[in-house]
């Protein structure tokens, strides 16, 4: 009974929108009147020539964000756990990007990436490098988005790693040191196994977040150049708010939810033994 109010609120604001999206994906509607069309919306989505491009770009962002954005918070957490006098300042500095509103952060980095007067090209020009077409070239645009997204989001993960590392018994490090283990050996055989559950959980959350990337490509590049940074969520946005095709937007949303659900289930199944 005590849980009932919370469950009702959670169901209304979380589960009901999911059910509504599923129903909407089977309709042709302007949000006032609706006509049932069955699976026609899914068929139109699959036939859209932009869909494979959006999926490919989303997967490319996914891969880059894991290669670049996943190790950095862990490394910073390991470094921060060794700091004593400056530990508080370190926590403030690494969490500061999270405090900045996402759109403000993206606009700031968009100025950094400006090909003419941007900070990055101005600094690199001083050492004889550049200018680089950060957002103007198809091969540079997606990595540029990944760098910004990594900077904007690693603060929370670093604090979680710091909390997890603080819970590792110091006796384990002392015993390993007495046995002659080097710093890399203590890190690999003591530190990482003790926080592997946290690592696996944060990896799953980052995977889900990377596949739902929207703000960076929408604000920085609007999917360009030449659709090089359009993502699945951007395509959903275009269906709903540029074409007023809410049925197709809901259909693609359902497909994305199913894909994320399958990914999470497979990941949890594969890592169940290691996360204990």
91 near 159, Cβ under 8 Å?
A: yes
pLDDT at 275: 61
Domain ranges of the chain: 50-100+134-271
- Kindly report, residue by residue over 215-272, the tens digit of the pLDDT: 999 999 999 898 999 999 999 999 999 998 999 999 999 999 999 999 999 998 888 8
Question: CB under 8 Å, gap of 24 or more: what pairs does 135-141 form?
Answer: 135/110, 135/220, 135/221, 135/225, 136/225, 137/225, 138/225, 138/226, 138/228, 141/221, 141/224, 141/225, 141/228, 141/229
Instruction: Find the angle CA(204)-CA(208)-CA(213) to the nearest 5 degrees.
Output: 145
Question: CB under 8 Å, gap of 24 or more: what pairs does 63-68 form?
Answer: 64/142, 64/143, 64/146, 65/146, 65/149, 65/150, 65/206, 65/210, 65/213, 66/203, 66/206, 66/207, 66/210, 68/143, 68/146, 68/147, 68/150
187 near 82, Cβ under 8 Å?
A: no
- Kindly report, residue by residue over 19-35, the tens digit of the pLDDT: 989 999 999 988 888 88
- CATH number belonging to domain 50-100+134-271: 1.10.3720.10
Percent residues over pLDDT 70 in the chain: 99
Q: Which residue has the higher pLDDT, 48 or 178?
A: 48
Percent residues over pLDDT 90 in the chain: 59
pTM comes to 0.89
As a whole number of angstroms, the distance between CA 190 and CA 178 comes to: 13
Token pair, residue 129, equals 């490098």
pLDDT at 34: 84
- Kindly report, residue by residue over 143-201, the tens digit of the pLDDT: 999 999 999 988 999 999 999 988 888 888 788 888 888 878 888 888 888 888 899 99
């Amino acid at each position: 009974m005590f849980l009932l109010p919370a469950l009702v609120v959670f169901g209304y604001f979380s589960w009901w929108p999911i059910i509504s999206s599923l129903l909407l994906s089977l309709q042709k509607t302007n949000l006032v009147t609706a006509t049932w069309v069955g699976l026609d919306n899914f068929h139109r989505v699959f036939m859209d020539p932009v869909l494979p491009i959006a999926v490919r770009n989303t997967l490319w962002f996914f891969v880059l964000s894991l290669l670049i954005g996943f190790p950095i918070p862990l490394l910073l957490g390991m470094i921060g756990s060794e700091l004593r006098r400056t530990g508080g300042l370190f926590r403030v500095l690494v969490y500061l990007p999270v405090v900045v509103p996402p759109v403000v952060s993206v606009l700031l980095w968009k100025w950094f990436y400006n090909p003419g007067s941007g900070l990055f090209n101005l600094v690199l020009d001083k050492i004889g490098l550049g200018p680089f077409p950060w957002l103007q070239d198809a091969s540079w645009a997606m990595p540029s988005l990944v760098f910004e997204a990594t900077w904007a989001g690693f603060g929370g993960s670093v604090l979680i790693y710091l909390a997890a590392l603080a819970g590792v018994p110091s006796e384990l490090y002392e015993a390993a040191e007495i046995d002659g283990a080097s710093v890399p050996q203590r890190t690999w055989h003591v530190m990482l196994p003790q926080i592997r559950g946290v690592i696996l959980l944060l990896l799953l959350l980052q995977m889900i977040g990377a596949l739902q990337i929207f703000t960076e490509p929408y604000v920085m590049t609007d999917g360009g150049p030449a659709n090089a940074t359009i993502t699945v969520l951007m395509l959903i946005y275009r269906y709903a708010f540029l074409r007023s095709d809410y049925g197709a937007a809901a259909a693609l949303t359902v497909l994305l939810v199913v894909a994320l659900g399958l990914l999470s289930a497979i990941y949890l199944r594969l890592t169940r033994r290691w996360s204990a």
